[in-house]
Amino acid sequence: MVAKKTSGKNTAKPSKKKADLPVVARPSAPAVRGNNADVVAHETNIPVVREESPPPVVPPDKTVARVTVKTVARPSVKTVAKTAAVVNAVKTEDAGAKRGFSPRPMPDGNPYAPTPATVAEVIRETENIKTLRVVLEGSAMRSFAYEPGQVGQLSVFGMGESTFVINSPPSQKEYLQFSVMRAGEVTSAIHRLSAGDKVGVRAPLGNFFPYADWKGKDIFFVGGGIGMAPLRTIMLHLLERRKDYGKISLLYGARSPLDMAFAYELEDWMRRPDLDCTLTIDAPFEGWRHKVGLIPNVLLELAPAPKNCLAVICGPPIMIKFTVQALEKLQFAPENIITTLEKRMKCGIGICGRCNIGGRYVCMDGPVFSWAELQKLPPEL
């Protein structure tokens, strides 16, 4: 059952000409750090704080750690236990492939060694979400390749590492972007970083959105809160290949305008003629002129036609649950509902077993799954 009904108020279709988001005062006005900090008030009127200047020029050719992506079979746990160096030499039986798992990339060398990187810019998105743009050191940045939906382990030295979606599109070659919601120790340490700080990155990890199979189809993105991060990557990637796809729509919801990440981009997204963008918040908010209502309710109201359409959803588990129910009501087939999971990870490379659901490892067989695939897994989520 969906907890709350869509309000009848404020449901007028948003103007494509101007994204009339309200003027909002963020209660916890961000502490602006760094020399070039500026507060940008866009037409969305949601203040955006750039904590540091744009990423520095990548230093001259100085190879620190080479990230070469290659496809390997999943190594057996026994073999991996010997030494990390052996991992890459092992090309034993392709057990994963036999079980229908997709091939996956693995970095060369010690798979646990992060690539050194420098924080180039920090953007405060909301009271508890910050976006970091990090530049891999040496030639690693230029040679880095990844696909939309893949994740990275971002480490703060002396604190630990945590998993985040790379939410810059692969065409962005200057930096990798991670948006981090403060949850516990590591994410709090990440929130304390500023431009110039050193971090580590293990990436790319996991599978990705099978966008090549989506050609000719309509795509309906549904994002909730920080769940907009992976959708941003794939959505921008598809928009760069616009002619290959049918109608592209986005329904993005958050608790309030203050909780909307990427607020500085919403104006552009609302204006784009090639993207149908709808914003919603959970409860009325002064000055808000878009939808008010929980995402599943607004989705039912928008009622995208399921024929030749894929729904790609990401958000908190409760939102995913009710959004899937809404999509099923709209007659979307389970294989046409795609989501990404945030099951906790440790190694990220199929060794430690931390992320398994039944016979599947979220770090290797995911994080992207179709609803049809998830229905076959034990209900452990």
Ligand X SMILES: Cc1cc2nc3c(=O)[nH]c(=O)nc-3n(C[C@H](O)[C@H](O)[C@H](O)COP(=O)(O)OP(=O)(O)OC[C@H]3O[C@@H](n4cnc5c(N)ncnc54)[C@H](O)[C@@H]3O)c2cc1C
Task: Figure out which of the listed residues 21, 135, 136, 186 binds ligand X, where binding follows CB under 6 A.
Answer: 186
Q: Which residue is nearest to ligand FES (CB)?
A: 363
User: Shortest Cβ contact with ligand X: which residue?
Assistant: 184
Element (DSSP H or E) covering residue 301 = helix 295-302
Using rule CB under 6 A, residue 123 touches ligand X = no
Residue by residue, DSSP assigns 367-378 as SEEEHHHHHTS-
Report the alpha-carbon angle 104-107-112, nearest 5: 115
Contact 124, 133 (CB under 8 A): no
Nearest C-alpha neighbor of 363 from the set 377, 350, 352, 376: 350
Question: Which positions from 286 to 325 touch ligand X by CB under 6 A, shown as an x/- string?
Answer: ----------------------------------------
Choose between 6 and 356: whose C-beta lies nearer to ligand X.
Answer: 356
Q: Which two tokens stand for residue 381?
A: 């989520």
Burial class (CB in 10 A: 0-12, 13-18, 19+), 365: buried
Span near ligand X by CB under 6 A; candidates 12-20, 40-48, 74-82, 156-164: 156-164
Nearest distance in Å: CB 226, ligand X: 5
Estimate the crossing angle of helix 295-302 against helix 317-329, to 10 degrees.
Answer: 20
Going by C-beta distance under 8 Å and a sequence separation of 6 or more, which residues neighbour residue 55?
120, 121, 133, 135, 174, 175
Out of 26, 182, 247, 346, point to the residue binding ligand FES (CB under 6 A): 346
CB 229 within 8 A of CB 262: no
Q: According to the binding rule CB under 6 A, does residue 343 interact with ligand X? A: yes
Compute the distance between CA of residue 121 and CA of residue 179 in angstroms, rounded to an integer.
12
361 sits near ligand FES (criterion: CB under 6 A) = yes
Task: Give the type of residue at 156.
Answer: V
Residue 26 contacts ligand FES per CB under 6 A: no
Does residue 127 belong to the site contacting ligand X (CB under 6 A)? no
Q: How far apart are CA 150 and CA 243, in angstroms?
A: 24
Residue 112 near ligand FES by CB under 6 A:
no
Which positions from 229 through 288 interact with ligand X, judged by CB under 6 A?
Answer: 229
Residue 368 C-beta: closest distance to ligand FES, Å: 14
> Is 279 within 8 Å of 290 (Cβ atoms)?
yes
The smaller minimum CB distance to ligand X, of residues 30 and 293, is found at: 30
Residues 6+ apart with CB under 8 A from 337: 310, 311, 313, 324, 327, 370, 371, 372
- If binding is defined by CB under 6 A, does position 292 make contact with ligand FES? no
Q: Which does 343 bind (CB under 5 to 8 A by kind): ligand X, ligand FES, none?
A: ligand X
153 contacts ligand X (rule: CB under 6 A): no
Residue 69 and residue 145 in contact, taking contact as beta carbons nearer than 8 Å: yes
Residue 180 binds which entry of ligand X, ligand FES, none, with Cβ cut-offs from 5 to 8 Å by kind?
ligand X
**Spatial contact of 44 and 266, defined as CB atoms under 8 Å apart:** yes
Among ligand X, ligand FES, none, partner that 250 touches (CB below 5 to 8 angstroms by kind): none
Task: Kindly state the smallest distance separating residue 202's Cβ from ligand X, in Å.
Answer: 13
Which of 151, 338, 347, 357 is in the footprint of ligand X by CB under 6 A? 151
Give residues in contact with ligand FES (CB under 6 A): 345-348, 350-355, 361, 363
Give residues in contact with ligand X (CB under 6 A): 151, 162-165, 179-181, 183-187, 226, 229, 342-345, 367
